[in-house]
Amino acid sequence: MSFSDFDPTIKGTLPADFQWGYATAAPQIEGAWNKDGKGLSIWDTFGHTPGKVKDSSTADDTTRSYDFYKRDVARMKAYGVTGYRFSLSWSRIIPLGSKDDPVNEQGLKFYSDLVDELLANGITPFVTLFHWDTPQELENRYGGMLNKEKYIPDFNRYARVCFERLGDRVKNWITYNEPGVYTLAGYAAGVHAPGRSSFRDRNEEGDSSTEPFIVAHTELLSHAHVARIYKEEFKPSQKGTIMITLHGNWNEPWDADDPKHVEAAQRAQEFEIAWFADPLYKTGDYPPSMRAQLGDRLPRFTSEESKLVLGSSEAYGMNSYTTFFVKNRDAEPDINDHKGNVEVFDTNKQGVERGIESDTPWLRTSPHGWGKLLRWIWDRYQTPIFITENGTTAKGEHDFKPSGPDDILEDPHRVDFFKSYLTEVAKASQEGVVIKSYFGWTFTDNWEWAAGFTDRFGVTWVDFNDPEKPRYAKRSAYFLKEFFGHLIAESKK
């Protein structure tokens, strides 16, 4: 595919300062899980617990990016990226996690060296402080985020160390990645670390009806405290920005002609996205639809907390992948419901599919819903959007057998996904939606949490059976380089 194949009506529609590249998470790529002074995280514990990960794998080695980061940065440069979003491992920097525990200089040196390598290659670092890997010791001592009074000072200190040591070069900070997914998967369903829920066949401890909302409240408040620290103590000299990244897919009414299903789809958006985004960008409080269903199980902000949270994020970090059809449930909501009392379907009333299947059951290519979501977020929050994750798996990629280091895996499904979704980004931008970045998920195939190595999201194929974890490009990596060359306006320098 070449420039001549691209839609001329969207050429140069993204601003010249638009950043694009790939997103990763420390537990999924670094390996070196107990090397050079790193402490245990809750994902180290979870991954080593039998029966928790689909293929019984662990993140002990994953892609070994800790060892091979220079090669990876060189590959990113060859792919043409302008930015790289990665996360820091809290327990690599402060192995025991708390405000009173020692800093691990070797861990900090790794991240400092990575930042230097990126900058030397013309790649802008976007750094996430927390991508789901709470230090295990904080879970042991006081239950982690279930105890906001103890957790917030510890998170503040961790963030301050990162700002002090990396902020002279890092200008784009993200406090949390997908706080909603962390809470729902870890404390409602119990299928992610720390593995808590009401379902005793799955988890020994937890309460799905209350704990997710307690943890979410802690995340919002701790984000706001750290954002204030950055703005007051570091931003004046470092001149960076700080935001949070939220998850959320588009919810389409199962029957668009029935007001109750239209309302249900909107309610589903509020339970998934506005749960965090309304306090941050709109009202300083949770959506009324959530309060109506959850009552006092949903924590309350004091007036001071509300003021602290509202406006704390300087941009809207957006992670999204797909679309679902949503139908209203006429029955009373279950005590453990977190979706807004709705049913979710792959087809609508007319039998229309929500999208082409990937290699991951929940993920289907749905560019139409993606475009609607971009506009919904902009219309509701009027905040510049940084797309911090978007991507797909593709069927058949486990069977790839490279014959040489220059072999390229052809991945037309992923190419089509990126082309259709980025076309929607360009069209939304033409309409005035302010979009500042796009980070594909993800740079290399990796350890995909509880799915282990069974989900391949990368634009780079990794041979996980080889101790050296060799990498091979997929066609989509080169497609994105060409397509962004078409979409991003030329600088007027």
Determine contact, residues 211/143, Cβ cutoff 8 Å: no
Please classify residue 17 by burial: count the beta carbons closer than 10 Å to its beta carbon, then call 0-12 exposed, 13-18 middle and 19+ buried: exposed
Q: In the predicted model, what is the mean pLDDT of residues 321-327?
A: 98
Mean pLDDT along residues 123-136: 98
The answer to whether 89 and 66 have CB atoms below 8 angstroms apart is: no
For residue 242, the surrounding DSSP H or E stretch is strand 241-247
Quick one: average pLDDT of 154-162? 99
Q: Which two tokens stand for residue 22?
A: 């790939």
* pLDDT over 70, % of the chain: 99
What digits encode the pLDDT tens for the residues 470-484? 999 999 999 999 999
Q: 65-79 and 475-487 are packed helices; what angle lies between their axes, rounded to 10 degrees? A: 50
Task: With beta carbons less than 8 A apart as the criterion, state whether 123 and 167 touch.
Answer: no
Q: Taking a C-beta distance cutoff of 8 angstroms, is the pair 14, 105 a contact?
A: no
- Active-site annotation holder among 117, 137, 178, 397: 178
Percentage of the chain with pLDDT > 90?
98
- For residue range 245-258, what is the model confidence (pLDDT) as tens digits? 999 999 999 999 99
First to last CA, the chain: 29
At residue 3, does pLDDT exceed 90?
Answer: no
Q: What is the DSSP string of 270-317?
A: IIIIIHHHIIIIISSS--HHHHHHHGGGS----HHHHHHHTT-SSSEE
100-120 pLDDT, tens per residue? 999 999 999 999 999 999 999
Q: pLDDT tens digits, residue range 178-212?
A: 999 999 999 999 999 999 999 999 999 999 999 99
Extract the tokens encoding 480.
């994105």
Q: How far apart are CA 1 and CA 318, in angstroms?
A: 28
pLDDT at 388 exceeding the cut of 90: yes
Contact by Cβ (8 Å): 196, 203: yes
Catalytic residue among 211, 389, 424, 448: 389
Tell me how far CA of residue 9 lies from CA of 5, 20, 59, 448, in angstroms. Answer: 12, 20, 44, 37
178 assigned to active site: yes
pLDDT of 213 over the 60 cut: yes
Q: Quick one: pLDDT band at residue 5, thresholds 50, 70, 90? A: confident
pLDDT for 321 beyond 90: yes
Return the higher-pLDDT residue of 137 and 5: 137
Distance CA 348, CA 327 (A): 9
Q: Where are the domains of the chain?
A: 3-487
Is 252 part of the annotated catalytic residue set?
no
pLDDT score recorded for residue 493: 65
Lookup: tokens for 256: 């668009």
Mean pLDDT of 142-147: 98
* Residue written as token pair 């999204």: 320
Average pLDDT, the chain: 97
Q: Report residue 4's pLDDT band, with 50, 70 and 90 as the boundaries.
A: low
pLDDT at 492: 78
144-167 mean pLDDT: 98
Smallest CA-to-CA distance from 474 within 387, 402, 388 is with: 402
Residue 67 confidence (pLDDT) above 80? yes
**Topology annotation, domain 3-487:** TIM Barrel (3.20.20)
For the record, the structure tokens of 392 come out as 């797909």
Q: What distance in Å separates the CA atoms of residue 41 and residue 452, rounded to the nearest whole number?
A: 16
Cα 176 to Cα 133, 219, 241, 269, 376: the distances in Å are 11, 8, 14, 20, 22
Cα 278 to the center of its chain, rounded Å: 18
The reply to whether the predicted model has a pTM over 0.95 is yes
Whole-angstrom CA distances from 94 to 13, 44, 91, 377 are 43, 15, 5, 36
Cβ contacts of 465 within 8 Å, gap of 6 or more:
none
pLDDT at 2: 53
Q: For the chain, give me the number of helices (H) and strands (E)?
A: 17, 15
Which residue has 């309060």 as its token pair? 291
Length of the chain measured in residues = 493
pLDDT in tens, 222-231: 999 999 999 9
Q: Are strands 316-319 and 385-390 parallel, antiparallel or unpaired?
A: parallel
Provide DSSP, 325-344: EEEE--SPPPTT--SSSEEE
Amino acid letter at 297? R
Residue 393 pLDDT > 80: yes
Predicted local distance difference test score (pLDDT) of residue 164: 98
Q: Are 464 and 58 in contact (CB under 8 A)?
A: no
> Is the pLDDT reported for residue 491 higher than 90?
no
Q: How confident is the model at residue 80 (pLDDT cuts 50, 70, 90)?
A: very high
Angle, CA 421 vertex, CA 416 and CA 425 arms, to 5°: 145
Strands 471-473 and 460-462: antiparallel
Closest by CA position to 171, among listed 104, 75, 83, 93:
83
User: Which uninterrupted H or E stretch holds 125?
Assistant: strand 124-130
467: buried, middle or exposed (CB in 10 Å: 19+, 13-18, 0-12)? exposed
Please report where in the chains the tokens 């001329």 appear, as a residue: 8
CA atoms within 13 A on the CB side of 435: 31
pLDDT at 1 over 90: no
Mean pLDDT of 273-281: 98
- If you average pLDDT over residues 140-166, what whole number do you get? 98
